[in-house]
Amino acid sequence: MEQRPILVATIGYIIGILWGLYLKSSIVPFYILIIAIYYLIKNVPKRKRKFRLLSFYRYSRYLKIIFTKKILLIIFIFSVISNNYILLKNKQYENTYQDGENIEIQGIIISQKIEKEYYNLYQIKILNSKNLNLYIQVNKKIQELEYGDKIKIKGEYCKPSKQRNYGGYNDEQYLKTLKIIGRMKVQQIKIIAKKQQNIILQWANEINAKIKKIIENSFSNENASILKGVLLGETEDISEEAQEKFRISNISHILAISGMHISYIVIGIQLLLQKMIGKHKSKIITIIILIIYTFITGFSPSIMRAVIMGILALGSNIIYRKNDIWNSIAISLLINLIYNPYLISHVGLQLSYFGTIGILLFHFIILKKLKKIPIGKETLAISISAQIMILPIMLYHFNIFGIYFLITNLLVNIIIGPTIILGFFSLILKPLTIFTNIGLKLLKFISNFSQLPFSKIYFITPPIYLIIFYYIIILIFRYIYTIYHKRYLTVTQSRVKNIISLCRYNFYIKKKKYLKIIFIIITSLIIIQVFPKKLKINFVDVGQGDCTFIATPQNKTILIDGGGSLNDNFDVGKRTLIPYLLDKGYSSIDYVIISHFDQDHVRWNNYIIRRIKSKTNNNW
């Protein structure tokens, strides 16, 4: 790790952010406590110890080899910096929130119009603020605004809501990942000046708007919305139903700019320019195009990761240096988190980085296991290795596992490359839209795998400690695999291999004893599950209407009503009730009771009856 100080610095930076974000306190007292304990233990007189195979003292010495003083110092410095930074940002946001107040501010429009049913939504950069943004809701009858407009507005500020139910959607946390402090219902608006945004960003936005206009004029609404997702990473126009199909089919990553998109762009540019101007110059132009592409598509975490890693890889080739992939990941992540530390909770960032790490750790291992497969083994290896790392994140955020992910990813990887390249060329050469349309239709066809029987399995939300345990286990497995398949081992790796052999021998000698311990632990866990618990009554916030969820001491579950909404666009069962039950750890309902049949009490049931299997066959 000493050879990768940037990686160590990034780890320290993450520790400081997580400490400040979730514990909301300074990390310095904790470090002082750890240092004090260390020196107290160090000054304790040493005595001779008997040999024990399972001994904390015996194996704690290996921690000194991994975590040297230099590494610990880097972690300490960067975690303190990020911890103080996130605490300052927390105070800044809290001081800014002032719900329900009428305010008057000046700002610059920094997004294109997002059309809603009754209003247009814009994002503005607040002038004379420390890099904070705001969503404004403008009545369609008032005025049309354009990117770069400097405006003076007056209206009612609405503070972002925190999660209303256990494990529910937290609007405040999500908006922080966008540097947005809330929403404002505009009552009065005045345009002071035009095109006041940074000239480079203004130019990039104009190109973005032109690309979208060409796509909209050349393709049907549905195909245009998907192509905008594939080329620009914009999914606002894709219907919720279509997005869910892509998500369940495990191909939603094609709608967010990622390493796959960047690699196809690089390949396309290299094929076009390499013979014309040579390898060296073509790589320099590719870097420039990637930077321009980043400005055009926005600065989402997945784009930043992919582009930075792509630029570092190309740059290392230009100067004839070997590219260290782990340093590249660390640099891109550190830049993302310096720009906005709240991105640590962004689902896109988590999936992007964990998927990449999974490919780096397990791709080679899985590829060796699939060597007998004649075709598609490379794609399968990438899909499986990425899935290993992102599985807990997918279950934690979405509670869904797509059964057909291997088939869908294999098919998508055949189609997506030509579709991306043809998609870009069709912006210039209109005849190519015919072939691009074929690719888009095939992508939609693959997304329909989500409609097949048993296409998905619902899981309860895994607790954080179980996710951490999962990652520890697979990382240990990866390390052990390396030890047993590496030709030349380091001294430390040889020692670890010997320790594993000793553990296996010790287990064989005392097998009966250890099997008894395992049996007792498993039996105890089963008894704990069936042992009567406390009666739990939960009142679920479902908006209009009532919903009560009861868990009895015998672990029977009862749902009384479920709320409902007269708005067809919002499904209470799908968006509120199902996530709540899964977050609470329940995947089935024993009894459903409906007090009366008003819409605000029963409209949830159309979705939930289809999705959650009842343990009983009650006809209610």
pLDDT of 237 reads: 83
Percent of the chain with pLDDT over 90: 28
> Which of 283, 365, 276, 274 has its CA nearest to residue 320?
283
Cβ neighbours of residue 125 closer than 8 Å, sequence gap 6 or more: 107, 108, 110, 131, 132, 133, 197
Radius of gyration of the chain (CA): 28
Under the banding of pLDDT at 50, 70 and 90, the label for residue 518 is confident
pTM equals 0.86
pLDDT of 388 reads: 92
Under the banding of pLDDT at 50, 70 and 90, the label for residue 57 is low
Under the banding of pLDDT at 50, 70 and 90, the label for residue 440 is very high
Cβ neighbours of residue 525 closer than 8 Å, sequence gap 6 or more: none
DSSP 337-385: HHH-GGGGG-HHHHHHHHHHHHHHHHHHHHHHHTTT-SSSHHHHHHHHH
Percent of the chain with pLDDT over 70: 91
CA distances, 279 to each of 84, 220, 272, 424, 574 (Å): 45, 39, 11, 22, 52
Q: Report the pLDDT averaged over residues 17-43.
A: 88
Under the banding of pLDDT at 50, 70 and 90, the label for residue 340 is very high
82-97 pLDDT, tens per residue?
999 999 999 888 888 7
597-617 pLDDT, tens per residue?
777 666 655 545 444 444 334
> Which of 257, 264, 265 has its CA nearest to residue 288?
265
Cβ-defined contacts of 486-489 (< 8 Å, 24+)? none
282-293 pLDDT, tens per residue?
888 999 999 998
Q: Which residues pair with 190 in a beta bridge?
A: 152
Label residue 443 left, alpha or beta by phi (over 0 means left) and psi (-120 to 50 means alpha): alpha
303-325 pLDDT, tens per residue?
888 889 889 888 888 887 888 88
Under the banding of pLDDT at 50, 70 and 90, the label for residue 620 is very low
Rounded Cα distance between 499 and 54, Å, is 10
* 3 state DSSP class of 155: strand
**Domains and their CATH numbers in the chain:** 5-96 (no CATH), 102-197 (2.40.50.140), 205-458 (no CATH), 536-611 (no CATH)
Under the banding of pLDDT at 50, 70 and 90, the label for residue 619 is very low
Rounded Cα distance between 539 and 219, Å, is 47
Q: What is the dihedral of CA 516, 519, 525, 528, to 10 degrees?
A: -80
Cβ neighbours of residue 195 closer than 8 Å, sequence gap 6 or more: 148, 149, 202
Rounded Cα distance between 298 and 341, Å, is 18
* 3 state DSSP class of 550: strand
Q: Is the pLDDT of residue 77 over 90?
A: yes
pLDDT of 613 reads: 42
Rounded Cα distance between 296 and 228, Å, is 12
pLDDT of 612 reads: 45
The chain-wide mean pLDDT, for the chain, equals 84
**Amino acid letter, residue 344:** I
Rounded Cα distance between 91 and 84, Å, is 11
> Which of 587, 333, 335, 373 has its CA nearest to residue 459?
587
C-alpha 496 chain-centroid distance: 34
**Amino acid letter, residue 330:** A
Longest dimension (CA), the chain: 84
* 3 state DSSP class of 454: coil
Q: Is the pLDDT of residue 101 over 80?
A: no
Rounded Cα distance between 577 and 597, Å, is 18
* 3 state DSSP class of 536: strand
Under the banding of pLDDT at 50, 70 and 90, the label for residue 11 is very high
Q: Is the pLDDT of residue 442 over 70?
A: yes
Residue pair 422/436 in contact (Cβ under 8 Å)? The answer is yes
pLDDT of 354 reads: 92
pLDDT of 247 reads: 85
Task: Mean pLDDT check: name the lowest of 250-264, 505-519, 563-577.
Answer: 563-577
Helix residue ranges, H only, 399-531: 405-426, 433-447, 464-485, 491-509, 511-530
Cβ count within 10 A of residue 502: 12
For the record, the structure tokens of 569 come out as 């666009």
Provide the pairing of β-strand 547-551 with 557-561: antiparallel
CA distances, 361 to each of 5, 366, 387, 610 (Å): 20, 10, 12, 39
Under the banding of pLDDT at 50, 70 and 90, the label for residue 565 is low
In which element (H, E) is residue 583 found?
helix 578-584
Q: Is the pLDDT of residue 41 over 70?
A: yes
206-227 pLDDT, tens per residue?
999 999 999 999 998 889 999 9
Rounded Cα distance between 104 and 102, Å, is 7
> Which of 250, 220, 210, 227 has its CA nearest to residue 428?
210
Under the banding of pLDDT at 50, 70 and 90, the label for residue 495 is confident
Q: What is the dihedral of CA 571, 576, 578, 579, to 10 degrees?
A: 140
Residue pair 180/153 in contact (Cβ under 8 Å)? The answer is no
